[in-house]
């Protein structure tokens, strides 16, 4: 049974798939202070939060069995993702589930600000009938600057066009082509400053975006400009905004998010030209059900099916790319496991990964991590996973280098992994053959052709007649059936290798007898831990057990 702790008032309806699942126990708590949460977190396998719960590094120290932190929403700024990564805890979110809610809130705020609705409501509900103080402005034919043309920015732009606004979009990822398709203008921040009547912010809060709307930017804007921020507090410098409103340069602001939440600054709260909501962008019935549904379903997938979709601390890739890469992920893990065994189980200090052929056009980050995890898992077993593998390499002082090569090494796709310690290097080259599946095609300097199987025997010997027969009959004496056998050599009569796939494990006695065969220099039994357990489209179980 997996125990899931839910805080921050997550929608009960959205949690249904977890609550109804026989393998999960769901416990709810209100938003807890860190020390109280710290007392109980050790009992849970997964934690679901919105933005109020602070998931700090200190809290995670006490989270002995936590494997997943789920953010029922988008922003993960309340979660110490680095600390989670170091501990191999996966952090997931629900990136698109509250897009419409935040979009509609943005438009509601823009209209409410333009027509002074909150101010008018306050006076009218207080018994006054004041038809003179609340003359607004129209959106029609005005220019809207959208800073951040991601999911929400794009939806805001589409809807604002419906009001007859001209849209200027600023985003490093906005191409001319996409802007054209959306019917908007790709703009610089300066152009937005110079031309916009309304400016709405839809970026995350990062080092780049913190204070992006500051005194300097404001000084370049048109007199009478109005701002909306339903993204993150801190992107607009609040003090600078208040100054610009007080001076009469900026006509108004509509803020849902603040540098410090809950906001207490009277200069913001009592300014007649600033309207505020308490971080309500995602607070619709629909969005709250959807975010909870999405993270609940993903938690089930992670624990039951080892499938991860929206990890914040793992490389993201489309389903199509993942399906394409799946055979390589399986092979990469096996190559990692084998190469470290070939290094006679010493810990490596240097790892080199080379990609050739079709692989150089793919996003190979996940494949790289898979190989590295395969290598490290030999010594670190379950404590290494795809989340923390890079951190662990650094911690262990292992350098790694990844190279993509334009040459093709005779295969349509080819990957080579070498691990070294001092002067010792072990190397494996592998490929996925169209229609035939994965093959190990190189071990150290020898060319071979071996389908990776659970039990392998790697033998180094002199290239003399009779070796194959001697090895075969000794294994036969011990009732060890040979599946396949491959030999490789660099020159006739020199050193050679033999790689056998076996139907069962090799005992120490037979290993001892093997190396007594004259001309046989070395026999090494290699074992793969996950050969029969991979499934297409899934992260393999060994990884997830330790996630
Ligand atoms: N108020 C709320 O309740 C609420 C609800 C949902 C999302 N949000 C916030 O809204 C913001 C946008 O969310 P989203 O789902 O659209 O995210 P998104 O990732 O889809 O889009 C963010 C966009 O910002 C762009 N960007 C990053 N740095 C930039 C920069 N320096 N200049 C210009 N553009 C930059 C990115 O390229 C990306 O396209 C996030 O901060 C999110 O946390 C708030
Ligand atoms: O990042 C988000 O998803 C929004 O800011 C919403 O946060 P909330 O879930 O705390 O409302």
pLDDT, tens only, 14-47: 999 999 999 999 999 999 999 999 999 999 999 9
- For the Cβ of 207 lying below 6 angstroms from any atom of ligand 1, the answer is no
Position 183 pLDDT exceeds 50? yes
Q: Count how many residues are written for the chain.
A: 547
Give 155 or 542, the one with higher predicted confidence: 155
For ligand 1, atom 2, the nearest C-alpha belongs to 281
Position 537 pLDDT exceeds 60? no
Is 279 noted as a catalytic residue in this protein? yes
**Mean pLDDT score, 200-222:** 95
pLDDT, tens only, 241-253: 999 999 999 999 9
Q: Which of 175, 204, 316 to mutate to test the pocket of ligand 1 (most atoms within 8 A of CB)?
A: 204
Between the CA of 446 and the centroid of ligand 1 the distance, in Å, is 51
pLDDT of residue 531: 65
User: SS in 3 state form for 224-254?
Assistant: CEEEEECCCCCCECHHHHHHHHHCCCEEEEE
Contacting residues for 419 by C-beta, under 8 A, at least 6 apart: 339, 340, 343, 348, 350, 351, 352, 375, 425, 426
Q: How far apart are CA 213 and CA 166, in angstroms?
A: 21
pLDDT of residue 318: 73
* Among candidate residues 502, 495, 499, the one with its CA nearest the CA of residue 476: 502
Give 314 or 248, the one with higher predicted confidence: 248
pLDDT of residue 454: 95
Between the CA of 111 and the centroid of ligand 2 the distance, in Å, is 22
Question: With the C-alpha atoms ordered 149, 154, 158, 160, is the resulting torsion angle positive or negative?
Answer: negative
CB 366 within 8 A of CB 422: no
- For the Cβ of 255 lying below 6 angstroms from any atom of ligand 1, the answer is no
Strand order of the sheet with strand 166-170? 185-186, 166-170, 143-147, 198-201, 225-229, 250-255, 274-276
pLDDT of residue 206: 87
Confidence of residue 481 (pLDDT cuts 50, 70, 90): very high
pLDDT of residue 530: 66
Between the CA of 328 and the centroid of ligand 1 the distance, in Å, is 33
**Mean pLDDT score, 448-466:** 94
Atom number in ligand 1 closest to CA 96 = 15
For residue 157, what is the enclosing H or E element? helix 151-162
3-state secondary structure of 260: coil
Neighbours of 409 (CB within 10 A): 17
pLDDT of residue 507: 86
Which ligand places an atom closest to the C-alpha of 73?
2
Contacting residues for 465 by C-beta, under 8 A, at least 6 apart: none
pTM of the full structure: 0.81
pLDDT of residue 400: 96
CB 62 within 8 A of CB 41: yes
pLDDT, tens only, 489-536: 888 888 999 999 999 999 889 999 999 999 999 999 999 986 643 332
Give 346 or 451, the one with higher predicted confidence: 451
pLDDT, the chain, mean: 93
Percent of the chain with pLDDT over 70: 97
Q: Which of 280, 282, 285 to mutate to test the pocket of ligand 2 (most atoms within 8 A of CB)?
A: 282
User: SS in 3 state form for 54-117?
Assistant: CECHHHHHCCCCCCEEEECCCCCCCECHHHHHHCCCEEEECCCCCHHHHHHHHHHHHHHHHCCH
* Among candidate residues 75, 57, 420, 125, the one with its CA nearest the CA of residue 281: 75
Between the CA of 278 and the centroid of ligand 2 the distance, in Å, is 11
Between the CA of 230 and the centroid of ligand 1 the distance, in Å, is 10
pLDDT of residue 543: 32
Q: Which neighbouring-strand residues pair with 349?
A: none
Among the ranges given (184-188, 251-255, 420-424, 534-538), the one the predictor scored with the smallest mean pLDDT:
534-538
Percent of the chain with pLDDT over 90: 84
* Cα–Cα distance list, 461 to 75, 389, 453, 496 (Å): 59, 36, 22, 5
pLDDT, tens only, 261-291: 999 999 999 999 999 999 999 999 999 999 9
Between the CA of 212 and the centroid of ligand 1 the distance, in Å, is 13
Q: Which of 231, 234, 278, 288 to mutate to test the pocket of ligand 1 (most atoms within 8 A of CB)?
A: 231
Q: Give, in degrees to the nearest 5, the angle at Cα 48 between 155 and 107.
A: 20
- For the Cβ of 27 lying below 6 angstroms from any atom of ligand 1, the answer is no
pLDDT, tens only, 82-141: 999 999 999 999 999 999 999 999 999 999 999 999 999 999 999 999 999 999 999 999
Atom number in ligand 2 closest to CA 283 = 11
User: SS in 3 state form for 397-451?
Assistant: CCEEEEEEECCCCCCCEEEEEEEEECCEEEEEEEEEECCCEEEEEEECCEEEEEC
pLDDT, tens only, 128-180: 999 999 999 999 999 999 999 999 999 999 999 999 999 999 998 899 999 99
pLDDT of residue 382: 72
Ligand 2: residues with CB < 6 A are 50-51, 73-75, 98, 279, 281-283
Catalytic residue among 67, 279, 369, 427: 279
Is 261 noted as a catalytic residue in this protein? yes
- For the Cβ of 231 lying below 6 angstroms from any atom of ligand 1, the answer is yes
3-state secondary structure of 462: strand
Q: How far apart are CA 535 and CA 523, in angstroms?
A: 31
Q: Give, in degrees to the nearest 5, the angle at Cα 133 between 258 and 247.
A: 50
Atom number in ligand 1 closest to CA 206 = 28
φ/ψ of residue 339, rounded to 5: -65, -35
For ligand 1, atom 1, the nearest C-alpha belongs to 281
Among the ranges given (256-260, 305-309, 391-395, 424-428), the one the predictor scored with the smallest mean pLDDT:
305-309
φ/ψ of residue 382, rounded to 5: -70, -15
Between the CA of 81 and the centroid of ligand 2 the distance, in Å, is 16
Catalytic residue among 61, 261, 304, 522: 261
Is 232 noted as a catalytic residue in this protein? yes
Q: How far apart are CA 335 and CA 321, in angstroms?
A: 21
Which ligand places an atom closest to the C-alpha of 48?
2
For ligand 1, atom 28, the nearest C-alpha belongs to 203
φ/ψ of residue 119, rounded to 5: -65, -45
């Amino acid at each position: 049974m997996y125990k899931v702790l839910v805080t921050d008032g997550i929608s009960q309806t959205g949690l249904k798939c977890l609550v109804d699942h026989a393998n999960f126990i769901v416990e709810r708590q209100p938003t807890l202070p860190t020390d109280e949460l710290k007392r109980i977190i050790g009992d849970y396998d997964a934690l679901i939060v919105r933005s109020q719960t602070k998931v700090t590094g200190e809290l995670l120290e006490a989270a002995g069995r936590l494997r997943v932190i789920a953010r029922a929403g988008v922003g993960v700024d309340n979660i110490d993702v680095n600390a989670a990564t170091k501990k191999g805890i996966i952090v997931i979110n629900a990136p698109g589930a509250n897009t419409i809610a935040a979009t509609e809130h943005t438009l509601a705020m823009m209209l409410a600000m333009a027509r002074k609705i909150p101010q008018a409501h306050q006076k009218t509900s207080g018994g006054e009938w004041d038809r003179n103080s609340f003359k607004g402005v129209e959106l029609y034919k005005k220019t809207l600057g959208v800073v951040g043309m991601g999911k929400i920015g794009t939806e805001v732009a589409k809807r604002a066009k419906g009001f007859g606004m001209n849209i200027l979009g600023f985003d490093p990822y906005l191409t001319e082509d996409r802007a054209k398709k959306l019917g908007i203008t790709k703009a610089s921040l300066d152009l937005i400053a110079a031309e916009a009547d309304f400016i709405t912010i839809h970026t995350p809060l990062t080092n780049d975006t913190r204070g992006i709307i500051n005194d300097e930017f404001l000084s370049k804007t048109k007199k009478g400009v109005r701002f909306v921020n339903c993204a993150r507090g801190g992107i607009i410098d609040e003090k600078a905004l208040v100054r610009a409103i007080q001076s009469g340069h900026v006509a108004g602001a509509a803020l849902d998010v603040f540098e410090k939440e809950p906001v207490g600054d009277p200069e913001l709260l009592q300014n007649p030209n600033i309207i505020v909501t308490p971080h309500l962008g995602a607070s619709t019935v629909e969005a709250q059900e959807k975010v909870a549904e999405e993270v609940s379903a993903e938690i089930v997938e992670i624990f039951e099916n080892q499938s991860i979709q929206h990890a914040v601390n793992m490389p993201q890739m489309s389903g199509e790319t993942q399906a394409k890469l799946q055979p390589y992920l399986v092979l990469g893990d096996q190559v990692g496991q084998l190469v470290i065994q070939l290094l006679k189980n010493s810990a490596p200090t240097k790892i080199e990964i080379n990609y050739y052929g079709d692989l150089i056009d793919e996003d190979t980050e996940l494949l790289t991590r898979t190989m590295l995890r395969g290598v490290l898992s030999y010594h670190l077993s379950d404590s290494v996973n795809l989340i923390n593998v890079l951190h662990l390499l650094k911690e262990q002082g292992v350098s790694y280098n990844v190279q993509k090569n334009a040459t093709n090494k005779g295969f349509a796709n080819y990957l080579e992994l070498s691990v070294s310690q001092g002067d010792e290097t072990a190397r494996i080259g592998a490929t996925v053959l169209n229609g035939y599946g994965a093959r190990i095609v190189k071990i150290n300097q020898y060319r071979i052709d071996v389908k990776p199987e659970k039990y392998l025997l790697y033998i180094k010997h002199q290239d003399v007649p009779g070796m194959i027969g001697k090895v075969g009959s000794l294994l036969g004496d011990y009732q060890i059936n040979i599946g396949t056998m491959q030999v490789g050599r660099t020159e006739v009569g020199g050193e050679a290798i033999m790689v056998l796939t076996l139907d069962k494990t090799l005992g120490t006695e037979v290993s001892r007898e093997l190396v007594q065969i004259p001309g046989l220099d070395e026999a090494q039994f290699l074992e793969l831990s996950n050969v029969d357990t991979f499934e297409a489209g899934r992260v393999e179980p060994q990884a997830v057990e330790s996630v």
